[in-house]
Structure 1
């Protein structure tokens, strides 16, 4: 195995050993054994990591029947540099800048050592080379959200010339759904919902129609859409069914939606990131970072608190680590 000599045996990370609120259970640890890599994995020196709702839901115990054993270092999204490669790895070499969502299956046995650590061990197939024009902070913000966004389009067999309504257009996934609809899938019309202050952002991302959900009910629009992409859930899924054409489809990333909506869970896949690389490198699709990002590693607990308000715009990223 190719390796660099300066890899430590123990690492700094944020971890928890019981389920509960991140504010109470997440602790800074400075002596966690570094993960071993398997033949199909690389060891990454983490430069930046993004936070996702799945991280705090997992901490709450949502996945407790399928989770890995404690202690748990959270973090799905990573961007960093390869420092060691397994014997079967062919796509990457030591020194490569990479990014990805480190858990291929997000709910079954997610990694005990996630991306909120100095180093993490990750399968080659869920990683891609970092686009040259993106910083590590920007790259870390993308994988889980952009793969989710992309696979939702695949789920409903979206094609050029169709119209789409995006619920929650300013969020981590929604902001990428708008851009992919416009620049990758060739939507005829893109509508999206957000609060008053975020309407300009929707237009800048490519929305033809920006809907202020605090003042308008999208389900009462005369115009109906081929696809409604629900990133919000709760009562929205019910309304989404009223906003879709008779032959249209509602796709949702939020569990416990309406039975007529198509619910899916993304599967992390480096090939999706490679496929989207030209759009990222040309600047057609851009990462959207929350104005408070990046948070320093020491403020990870505060970063989670901000994410939980549901007021974040785009993605909350931690950098540098540590």
Structure 2
């Protein structure tokens, strides 16, 4: 702690509202004080998530605690800052072959994807349909299904310009949703992983006795929704797949931006047109 300054630069907000109205870059924010189970992390890069915009708008107001905070088991400090306080149990080593920007793109997306597979008890040989395969979570679901969990068949949806990307990630079939409806496919699936909020349609695409995993939007029975809880052990468990190149970080083609452009990039994330992740790097 000897070389750590007393204050830092950080993007903060103290009330709910549109990011452009409430999120401010400050240069005199006090560096977090650590609790017994925490470590101080020098933030090199930070991934932006759709939930970031929703939290600022107050959509998750029931999970509130002092600003700013995380969604599940709320904590006060985020990662759009030079330093952050993190519970040691949430941390895992950065895969040796990944840059800071690539590593920052992973925890929320790969953690959510992996958590969904655990919740639906996915097993080798099952088939899966991924709705919204080009997004941050969807791109991880495709790769984990194919290269970690041993899916027999991976089908996904995307717009025309993202079809080739998803084929390269391991999808056996990419349904261009601008040209056809996935629920009209002759095949049905053991698991439908909905990353875009189309649950009512997703249920129509599952096999009898199948499962639908929802990460956003309203739930139609028998689908279920879950909120990912950070887990360093799960991240560490997936490191070998990342270091071997079987699973790759997916960053939007124009997806790495400096700290000063956080507001503009949050607006881009909110369009829903991102391929993979948007990352803020470097943090300085």
TM tier relative to shorter chain = over 0.9
Secondary structure at 1:294 match in 2: strand
The answer on whether the counterparts of 1:228 and 1:243 sit within 8 Å (CA) in structure 2 is: yes
**1:135 lines up with 2:132 in the alignment:** no
Please give the TM-score of this superposition, normalised by the length of structure 1.
Answer: 0.86
1:293 CA displacement: 1.9
- The residue number in structure 2 matching 1:223 is 187
Which residue of structure 2 aligns with residue 23 of structure 1?
20
Kindly report which structure 2 residues correspond to 1:1-322, keeping only aligned pairs within 5 A, or say none.
3=1, 5-70=2-67, 72=68, 103=70, 106-108=71-73, 110-233=74-197, 236-322=198-284
In the TM superposition, residue 107 of structure 1 has moved relative to its aligned partner by: 3.2
For residues 221 and 258 of structure 2, the distance between their equivalents in structure 1, rounded to whole angstroms, comes to: 41
Task: State the alpha-carbon separation in 2 of the partners of residues 259 and 247 from structure 1.
Answer: 12
For residue 18 of structure 1, report the CA deviation from its aligned partner. Answer: 1.3
Contact 1:67–1:107 (CA under 8 A) maintained in structure 2: no
Equivalents in 2 of 1:190, 1:318: separation in Å?
Answer: 31
Give 1:42 deviation, angstroms: 0.7
**Count of residues in Structure 1 that have an aligned counterpart in Structure 2:** 284
> Could you say what the CA RMSD is over the residues aligned between the two structures, in angstroms?
1.1
Unpaired segments ≥5 residues, structure 1 = 75-102
Whole-angstrom CA distance in 2 between matches of 1:64 and 1:160: 39
Q: What do residues 239-293 of structure 1 show as CA deviations (whole Å, max 9, x unaligned)?
A: 1111111021111111422132111111110011011010000000000001122
**Cα offsets for 1:46-87 (capped at 9, x unmatched):** 0000011111111001222322223x2x7xxxxxxxxxxxxx
Q: TM-score, normalised by structure 2?
A: 0.98
Q: Is the Cα–Cα contact under 8 Å of residues 196 and 217 in structure 2 kept in the other structure? A: no
Q: Where does structure 1 differ by over 6 angstroms across 4 or more consecutive aligned residues?
A: none
Unaligned runs of 5+ in 2: none
How many angstroms apart in 2 are the aligned matches of 1:267 and 1:6? 32
Q: Which residue of 2 aligns with 1:83?
A: none
Which structure would you say has the larger RCO, counting Cα contacts within 8 Å and 6 or more residues apart?
2
